[in-house]
């Protein structure tokens, strides 16, 4: 090889070896406001990302739906115009129906169930599905707690008490069908419009976990809380698969490890803060009650009417049975 060619090859190889991947500031959309479980996940991610990349990469959280409704952020991430989003899983289900298995009523009955399912093979499979169906990869899981029912009109302890209330739900078929099984037709509404909907009394109530109700100041427009346990809210941190694939293998690994740290931060936040936050809601004037008979009527109606309608979309009855087996419950 001529000297010039040798030098050119050497220079080219040196460039390949020496050029560091560009530093990046990831834009992270967050559906909820400061003080929420979603923010705890986001902060856990930012901290771990900066530490693991020795300060090379950073991430900025855009709280309170500033970058659009939760469902819109999935579309944005899919086409690569948004890097990341933290949003409730029920707002991913329309794009990747198999994740609906985590939204089926009365499947996940504790934080421990949620951790086992999301961090095991089922969580890994759902992550693969969201990449394929929606162009987004789940890198962390927020555990937000049970979606309790709030309303501005009256204490609700039974299915009969629910009648006549106008309840907002996300645009999610499983949740719509669940309320229908309880005898009312709920109003689907984007998360970003929900506070205004409650304030202007377009709707009387909604459901979300304590930590979300507190962070979003729903106590200003809602009075009564019913401790429903029909959905344990899981709220993933997703990254655009396009953005992820543009990263070096080393940076991809950093993102995944920062995601693990964020998941841990979210579980710690819920364990340490949920009881305290429930008391804040009481101090703010909310009245909290339990559904009568250990929620038996709600459970019976929802599981009988809703589960079979969604076997196909979640990947078959076997999928639900695999989930139930993983958390030590009997198959259907």
- Residues lying near ligand MLT in the complex (CB under 6 A) are found at 31-32, 70, 87-88, 91, 170, 191, 208, 212, 233, 235
Q: How far is the CB of 294 from ligand MLT (least distance, A)?
A: 24
In the complex with ligand MLT, the residue whose CB is nearer, 212 or 240, is 212
Q: How far is the CB of 325 from ligand MLT (least distance, A)?
A: 27
What's phi and psi for 193, nearest 5 deg? -105, 0
DSSP notation for 32-59: S-TTSHHHHHHHHHHHHHHHHTTTS-EE
Q: How far is the CB of 24 from ligand MLT (least distance, A)?
A: 25
In the complex with ligand MLT, the residue whose CB is nearer, 177 or 235, is 235
Q: How far apart are CA 3 and CA 7, in angstroms?
A: 6
In the complex with ligand MLT, the residue whose CB is nearer, 91 or 240, is 91
Q: How far is the CB of 31 from ligand MLT (least distance, A)?
A: 4
Task: Answer for the pair 163, 205: CB distance below 8 angstroms, yes or no.
Answer: no
Q: How far apart are CA 169 and CA 156, in angstroms?
A: 17
Q: How far apart are CA 6 and CA 175, in angstroms?
A: 66
In the complex with ligand MLT, the residue whose CB is nearer, 57 or 219, is 219
Q: How far is the CB of 191 from ligand MLT (least distance, A)?
A: 4
Q: How far is the CB of 242 from ligand MLT (least distance, A)?
A: 23
Residue 279 per-residue DSSP state: H
Task: Answer for the pair 323, 185: CB distance below 8 angstroms, yes or no.
Answer: no
Grouping H, G, I as helix, E, B as strand and the rest as coil, residue 306 is helix
In the complex with ligand MLT, the residue whose CB is nearer, 70 or 204, is 70
In the complex with ligand MLT, the residue whose CB is nearer, 53 or 214, is 214
Long-range Cβ contact pairs of 193-202 (< 8 A, separation 24 or more): 193/69, 194/168, 195/221, 197/168, 198/152, 198/168, 198/222, 201/152, 202/166
């Amino acid at each position: 090889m001529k000297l010039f060619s040798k030098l050119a090859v050497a220079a080219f190889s040196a460039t390949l070896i020496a050029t560091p991947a560009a530093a990046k500031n990831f834009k992270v959309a967050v559906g909820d406001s400061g003080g929420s479980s979603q923010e705890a996940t986001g902060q856990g991610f930012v901290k771990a990302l900066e530490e693991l990349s020795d300060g090379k990469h950073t991430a900025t959280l855009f709280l309170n739906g500033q970058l659009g409704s939760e469902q819109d952020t999935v579309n944005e991430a899919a086409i690569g115009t948004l890097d990341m989003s933290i949003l409730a899983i029920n707002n991913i289900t329309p794009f990747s129906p198999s994740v609906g298995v985590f939204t089926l009523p009365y499947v996940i009955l504790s934080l421990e169930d949620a951790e086992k399912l999301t961090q095991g093979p089922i969580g890994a499979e759902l992550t693969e599905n969201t990449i394929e169906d929606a162009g987004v990869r789940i890198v962390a899981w927020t555990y937000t707690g049970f979606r309790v029912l709030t309303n501005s009109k009256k204490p609700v302890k039974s299915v009969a008490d629910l009648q006549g209330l106008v309840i907002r739900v996300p645009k999610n078929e499983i949740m719509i069908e669940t309320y229908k099984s309880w005898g009312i037709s709920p109003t689907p509404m984007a998360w970003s419009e929900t506070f205004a909907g409650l304030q202007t009394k377009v709707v009387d109530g909604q459901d979300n976990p304590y930590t979300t109700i507190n962070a979003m100041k729903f106590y200003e427009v809602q009075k009564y809380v019913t401790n429903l346990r029909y959905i344990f809210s899981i709220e993933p941190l997703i990254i655009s698969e396009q953005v992820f694939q543009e990263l070096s293998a080393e940076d991809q690994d950093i993102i995944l490890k920062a995601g693990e740290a964020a998941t841990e931060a979210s579980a710690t936040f819920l364990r340490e803060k949920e009881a305290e936050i429930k008391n804040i809601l009481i101090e703010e004037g909310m009245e909290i009650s339990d559904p009568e008979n250990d929620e038996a009527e709600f459970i019976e109606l929802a599981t009988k009417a809703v589960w079979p309608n969604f076997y196909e979309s979640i990947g078959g009855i076997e999928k639900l049975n695999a989930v139930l087996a993983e958390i030590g419950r009997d198959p259907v």
